[in-house]
Amino acid sequence: MTREQADRARRILAPGPDGARRYRAGFPGAGPDELHEAVNSDWLFRMPSLHLAQAHHDAGGRAHLYELTWPAPGLGGILGACHGLDVPLVFGNLDRGQPAALIGDGPSPEAGALSAQMRAAWTRFAAAGDPGWPAYDSEHRLTQLYDAQPKVAPYPRRDLTPHLAAPHLRPADTAQLIFRQYSASGVLAGSYVTQALEVCLGNRGAWRPYR
């Protein structure tokens, strides 16, 4: 990941006219890889989850936030707390199949304990609607952080959350941003770009190429 690629991601995805600068100030020691990961993860996962929790809370429902911060030990640990790591942990499948590759050869006692905690929380939530930590509210935004030592804490990125919680774009606009960012960088090409946009929009034929 080059500095130019990370800067481009911040310019495109960081909300607000001052978004790129705020990300740089919020992560003063971060290199291009970390900045690129931060802005993409916030845009695609963290902030939409926060918006959904807030909307559910405002409508009178109960929402419970969590974030998996335990770094995946498999594949040399290069992926960290990556997307999809929760799958083998939640299903207790730590030593079989492709997702288990994230756990590494011979699941550690730490992985087993974390998996047991997550499975117990999911079961409690399915049975009684309470996973075992406080529900979301607008003031505290308490979040279960799953790591080697799980804990409940204010929502991660609390210093940036008021800025990042600005309204996201409509799906069609988001699709255009995906096309702009990845087709220009060469990460996705041809039909793969089309498939990514179809997933974003939820149907075929509803997007137009960015010009």
Read off the amino acid at residue 202: G
DSSP, collapsed to helix, strand or coil, labels residue 103 as coil
Please report the pLDDT score of residue 157 as a whole number: 58
All structural domains of the chain with their residue ranges: 169-211
Distance set, CA 91 to CA 72, 130, 136 (Å): 16, 19, 25
Highest mean predicted confidence (pLDDT) among 29-43, 111-125, 167-181: 111-125
State the Cα angle at 61 between 42 and 120, rounded to 5°.
75
**Mean per-residue pLDDT for 167-182?**
48
Phi, psi of 65 (to 5 degrees): -95, 145
Please report the pLDDT score of residue 6 as a whole number: 83
Is it the case that residue 147 has pLDDT exceeding 90?
A: yes
**Mean per-residue pLDDT for 71-98?**
91
Q: How far apart are CA 105 and CA 93, in angstroms?
A: 13
Cβ neighbors of 145 (< 8 A, separation 6 or more) are: 66, 67, 69, 151, 152, 153, 156
Distance set, CA 7 to CA 37, 38, 78 (Å): 12, 12, 22
CA nearest 146: which of 70, 93, 53? 70
**Mean per-residue pLDDT for 68-77?**
92
pLDDT range class, residue 156, cuts 50, 70, 90: low
Q: How far apart are CA 211 and CA 209, in angstroms?
A: 6
pLDDT range class, residue 184, cuts 50, 70, 90: very low
181 or 23, which is more confident: 23
44 or 175, which is more confident: 44
Please state, rounded to an integer, the average pLDDT across all residues of the chain: 76
- Give the number of other Cβ atoms within 10 Å of residue 84's Cβ: 12
